[in-house]
Each structure stands twice: as C-alpha cells, then as structure tokens.
Structure 1
Amino acid sequence: MGSDRKVYTLAEVSAHNSAHDCWLVIDGKVYDVTKFLDDHPGGDEVLVSSTGKDATDDFEDVGHSTAARAMLDEYYVGEIDDTTILKDVKYTAPKQPHYNQDKTSEFIIRLLQFLVPLAILGLAVAIKIYTKSA
C-alpha cells in the first residue's frame, strides 16, 4: 500500500462482479479476491454476492479471524472513493452461519474426551464377559 495508491469509484469496482473477476469493498479498501474464490470456506457465491456495494458489514457479520483479516493485504488493489457509495442505503446480504473453528474444535475434543474412555470401558466389560463365558 504505497503512496501511489489507486482510487476507484463504486461503479468501477461494481464491474468486477463475477466468479471470474471479483472485487470487494471492505473498510474503504478495494480487494481483488478472484484468486481466493475457490479457497473461501463459505464458497464463492458469498463473495460474488457482496460485489457492487460496501461489503464491510457482510465481512464483519461473519466474524472473520485475525488470520482472515491479515489475508486481505495480499488482495489489495486500491481505495474506494467514498463519495460514490450511498451512505443512506443499508446493504444486506443473506445471513451466513457463524463458524468459529476454535469453538468447533473445542467441542470435538470434549466429545472425544467423553466417548473414548466410555468406549474403552465398554470394550473392557465386553472382554470380561466374553472370557467368563468361554
């Protein structure tokens, strides 16, 4: 992000609105996320549906991780001309499920901590019963 940064209008950014050419406006910055579409955990449709508007609220509502926010830097192409964005219009995208990988991993670990000892206990009891009957 040098001093010779490019400033785009919303109309210019809006022209990049497909799965083959996808630009987003987030926090006053313009990002070309085309190369990231296949890798986006929420799918490419989510990103493409956020084109042509200020996608800051969409980005914030999902609860992106610090790592996801840091990734934005590699897709940066310039700044948005704020005067081209209607401020009184509330842009909304379909609500995406909130996915917190840390919480999901924690849940799986707790579940395994409960089920593995239970399975071992069940196996021990089954072996004990089998050896007595044999």
Structure 2
Amino acid sequence: MRYDSRLSRMLHILVHMARQAGPLTSEGIAAMLGTNPVVVRRALSGLRDAGYVHSQKGHGGGWVITCNLEQVTLLDIYNAVGQPSLFAIGNERSNPDCMIEQVVNLAVDDALREAESVLVERLRTLSLGELNRLFDARRAAGHDGSLSCEASL
C-alpha cells in the first residue's frame, strides 16, 4: 500500500528551512528527500501560495521560510498541501443496494469521521515551532538517528 507522505515531507522541509541561515535549493531538498527537484518545486508551491515560504531565483537563491513558526500549525500545512487523505482505508461501493454493505459503510464512515476529527484537532494544536523544539530536545538527549539529510543541504 502506498501512503501519501506530502504532509510529513513538507514538515520535514520546513523544519530544515527554519534551521538554515540561508535559502535551500530545490536540488538540495530533492537530494535530502530522494526525489526530483521538480517534485520539490511543485510541492512547495502550495506552501508559497499560502505565504509560508518564498523562492528566490538566481545565484544564491532557493527556498526560505517566511512564516512565524509559533503561529503556523501542522493543520495549516496540511491544508496548504491540499488536504491529502488521512486514511488509506475506505468503503466498498460495489453493491450500493445491499443493506449489509450500507450498514457496514455507515459504521466505517462514522469511525473514519471520528478518527479524522481527533487527528485534525491534534494537528491544530501543534505548531512548527513545537516541532523545532522537539528536534532540539531529541538531539540534546542524544537520541540515535541519522542527520544525514542535513548533509544533503
């Protein structure tokens, strides 16, 4: 099963941007994420349109964060990346006249709506600034983990 990782990728990029003194190129970000620079530019366009990042052209150019990390929530970023599906599960719709299918779909729909509501509320309570602080705390605590993505920038 393929998951939609746009939200986590954009959050990853934004925390890196917040920690950099200068702009990050699409090529550097692409190398960090193992993807193509065109994919990076396309993904960042939603964040640019929302006013969270800005791109500078030319020598020394690249992407910079333009928002206050404390005021932008993970929900804001989720909205800016196009509100990707939160869950990979869904309902069967092959026989809509079947009452059993209808009952099952109602139950699953209710559960998914409830779970989505909880998740959206949690995204609303977390800021980019908090992600940045969580990173600092994990690093200070000596948590194992590769920082190899920083070397790509």
Tell me whether the two structures share a fold, i.e. TM-score over 0.5: no
- TM-score, normalising length: structure 1: 0.22
- TM-score, normalising length: structure 2: 0.21
Structure in which a larger fraction of residues adopt strand = 1
